[in-house]
A and B are shown apart, each in its own frame.
Chain A
């Protein structure tokens, strides 16, 4: 009797695991082909690139207590990249809300599950030698 119960439990566990795997694969296909998700992750990547092209301490000082969505070019003393960084961060907030209300299940996924579901959307392309040089220049000037 115990043996039957044990085998049944094992079978149920296998069935549950397979079903969960299929659900993740389905979600992965859906998200990776969704223009909203593509735009959301593209904006995150662009924000990351901008972070590496500005003196972040100066950006924080100039922004002060102002929210990312209430900034202006004048606030950053005409520094276009800093202004774009604030705008891009604000855009992440907007797209993030939209993305999470469309895919609420992603909120309960672990980082490893997200790596599977988001796939290539999470990867940033390899840096070009020019981008590396620009970053080195910024650090050397500090």
Chain B
């Protein structure tokens, strides 16, 4: 039993910590946000702006879904 526990502890990636899912979500969101700000700044037309907002919306949504999946599979401790 002790051996299994020891293997589990060693096998767990060192990056996993309490709040891991939330921290990953926030870090990814900061990158998504910065890219959005840069993409918007590069726009000079309404169509380009619409495209930037749509891309941002999709990326943001995917990040939130990833957060839910992470919390669902790792448990509330990591959220």
Q: Interface of A with B (CB < 8 Å)? A: 41, 44-45, 47-48, 51-52, 56, 60, 67-69, 89, 92-93, 96-97, 100, 106, 111, 114-115, 118, 122-124, 126-127, 132, 135-136, 138-140
Contacts and interface: CB of A to CB of B under 8 A. Distances in A.
A45 B36 CA distance: 9
A132 B24 CA distance: 12
A96 B26 contact: no
Nearest to B40: A44
Q: Which 6 A-B pairs have the closest CB atoms?
A: A56-B57, A124-B33, A139-B64, A122-B37, A135-B64, A51-B57
Contact of B37 (A45, A93, A126): A45
B64 A47 contact: no
A122 B46 contact: no
Interface in B40-76: 40-41, 43-44, 46, 49-50, 53-54, 56-57, 60-61, 64-65, 67-68
A141 to B, nearest CB: 12
9 contacts: A44-B40, A93-B46, A93-B49, A96-B43, A122-B37, A132-B67, A136-B64, A138-B64, A139-B64
B18 to A, nearest CB: 14
A122 B57 contact: no
A91 B21 CA distance: 34
Interface residues of B, number: 27
Among B26, B33, B67, B68: residue with most chain A CB under 10 A = B33
B53 A51 contact: yes
Given A68-B46, A89-B49, A139-B65, A127 B29 contact: yes
Contacts of A122: 34, 37-38
A122 B44 CA distance: 18
A44 B57 contact: no
A36 B59 CA distance: 28
A47 B41 CA distance: 13
A132 B46 contact: no
B64 to A, nearest CB: 5
